[in-house]
Amino acid sequence: MEKEKKQSSLSRLLHYAGNHKYLMYASWVLATISAFIALVPFYYIWLIIKEIVEVRPDFSNAVNIQANGWYAVLTSFLAYVIYIAGLMCSHKAAFRVQSNMQMEMINHVMRIPLGYIESQGSGKILKIISKSSTATETYIAHNLPDKAVSYATPVGLIAMMLFFDWRIGLVCLIPALLAFLSMGSMMGKAMKQAMAEYQDSLETMSAEAVEYVRGIPVLKTFGQTVYSFKRFKTAIDKYEKWTIAYTISMTMPMVLFTTFSNGIFAAIVICAYVFGTRAVTDMLVFNILFYVIITPILTMTLMKVAYAGESQMIVMDALGRMDDLLDVKPLDETDNPRKPADSSISMENVFFRYPDSDENAINGMSMLIKPGQHIAFVGPSGGGKTTIASLVARFWDVTDGSISIGGVNVKDISTKELMKYVSYVFQDSKLLKMSIIDNVRLGKKDASEEEVMQALRDAGCMDIIEKFPKGIHTVIGSEGVYVSGGEAQRLSIARAFLKNAPILILDEATAFADPDNEYKVQQAFARLSRDKTVIMIAHRLSTVVDADCIYVLNDGRIQESGTHKQLLALGGMYSHMWTEYNKTVKWKVGKAS
């Protein structure tokens, strides 16, 4: 990856194009040819004007106007056809590059730690995969051929301008050169850094906007304003500050670029005055007319070069974000995978630190969970409950120490085999935009329809199925078909029933359920947990009172452990949590006195 980073953006794109890179070369050649041919019609237009001026006032002697007009039309059409052919080549190459980039990133995402995906958010990773490839598709399909045209056109123009009158040609090139230098001051490392900051600001503001929209009902209920969402307001203020500062910094270079690029016509006027004071000849008049006709193309070309440079910066930023994703190290796969002997879980002096963090999330934790034992993790937020559970499922690899399932280190179990042993029910269940039966089949892809139905019955989902005319073939998220958070949770539990893994991890699984759904979810968990090793993570202490062992975690360490009664008798942290929990349960909104 480091070697690839040292390559230019164009080299990277050619690499992803594979055999289609020759189509990219062809698009540049065709675009260059079309640029040269596109200048020819202006010569014929000039011949028409020249002939009209020469024969005036007897225009009947202008015998070549029609032929030159047709030559102008035909060369224009030929340039257009060749340019379209170049675009067809560039588009086909662009689609192949986009496809290969997406496939590489998706394949990599399938191998990186699931914990990283959870920490970053699937939406952010999806945006990187989608936006990065889309940016390159636009750049290859349109900007690169236009860039070839932008570079070829000035070459042809300079040749023509110097051919007709080298003195006027050189004078006209002075403002063009100054415009090019002004444009260069807007590019380089500063522009690259600015583009990265711009994309970061948009990404942050977009993410915070989603959270703000989701929280609008709460804001309206309590009569709050946007200032209640400080992160969203901060993101907007930061974007505003950056935009204003960047615009001010670019004001002078942009003014100079616009002035010089449009000042080419003024150079023609100066030439006409200087050379005309010596002697006004027909050839001088004709040459001046030619430059009046042809120089606007040079102005337009300079504008295209400027926009092409901006597009290249966007692509460089997109490739950089893609590299950040590809640099995430996949989990190591053992060459000699082993199978666990049972569903016991052993942790020995486990330490873990999240990437880019200076402090450990888990500090020397050890425990033994016997096969079929039901244990619970409780404690304050940030205590390490979800972290240690995710390490069991190998969403991350431990920094130090070891975790074993059935006497085998999880690192020595193949990912596929490990997933057979562990079912993880998240607090925020995710359903894909597909039918209910296909969503449940994610737990077992070759399951029969009857097996799916049995899993749905076990999970208490029949009331969900019965309200849809198409039943289990109803597509979630289409045509106004949606389910509540509690219903989505029950459907994900049906998936766990179908998978039937011997180890079950429940991470705040009733957090988003209403009372009715919570009752049904708890019933489903009771059935699902039979004969399984269960790890429960909960803030509602009433859900863990029957656990075989409760571990109270704080600052990544085991503060206390034991049964519910033992911990209450101990009078420590758990006892205090239980007292506070019961106070909140009994709390009611009373009538004001």
Domain boundaries, given as residue ranges, for the chain: 2-326, 345-585
552: which strand partners? 378, 560
Q: What is the pLDDT of residue 591?
A: 46
CB-based burial, 20-29: b 16+ in 10 Å, e otherwise: bbebbebbbe
Q: Which amino acid is at 350?
A: V
Residues in the chain: 593
Tell me what pLDDT residue 553 has.
93
On the 0-12 / 13-18 / 19+ scale of CB atoms within 10 A, 505 is buried
Where do we find the tokens 């045509």?
A: 479
Tokens representing 252 are 């002078």
For 48, residues 6+ apart whose C-beta sits below 8 A from its C-beta are 64, 65, 68, 69, 72
> What pLDDT shows up at residue 89?
94
Residues in CB range of 356: below 8 A, 6 or more apart = none
CATH of 345-585, one of 3.40.50.300, 1.10.357.10, 3.30.70.1710, 3.80.30.20: 3.40.50.300
Amino acid, res. 86: G
Q: Are 425 and 506 in contact (CB under 8 A)?
A: yes
Q: List, for the chain, all residue ranges whose pLDDT scores fall below the cut of 70.
A: 1-8, 121-123, 183-200, 202-204, 206-231, 276-284, 304-311, 428, 478-480, 509-518, 585-593
Cα 6 from chain centre: 22
Q: What DSSP element (H or E) covers 441?
A: none
What pLDDT was estimated at residue 517? Answer: 64
State how far the Cα of 164 lies from the Cα of 228, in Å rounded to an integer.
68
CATH number corresponding to 2-326: 1.20.1560.10
* Spatial separation of the C-alpha atoms in residues 266 and 270, rounded to whole Å: 6
Strands 422-425 and 503-507: parallel
pLDDT for res 78: 96
Q: What is the 3-state secondary structure (H, E, C) of 61-94?
A: HCCCHHHHHHHHHHHHHHHHHHHHHHHHHHHHHH
Q: Which residues pair with 503 in a beta bridge?
A: 422, 533
From the list 466, 513, 467, the residue with the least C-alpha distance to 490 is: 513
- Ordered DSSP codes for 132-158: HHHHHHHIIIIIHHHHHHHHHHHHHHH
Closest to 210 (Cα-Cα) out of 235, 240, 239: 235
Query: Which of 496, 419, 422, 420 has the alpha carbon at shortest distance from 456?
Result: 496
Q: What distance in Å separates the CA atoms of residue 126 and residue 130, rounded to the nearest whole number?
A: 6
Torsion of CA 198, 204, 205, 208, to 10 degrees: 180
State residue 208's pLDDT score: 63
Q: Of 330, 394, 262, whose CA–CA distance to 112 is shortest?
A: 330
Burial profile 146-157: b = 16 or more Cβ within 10 angstroms, e = fewer: bbbbbbbbbebb
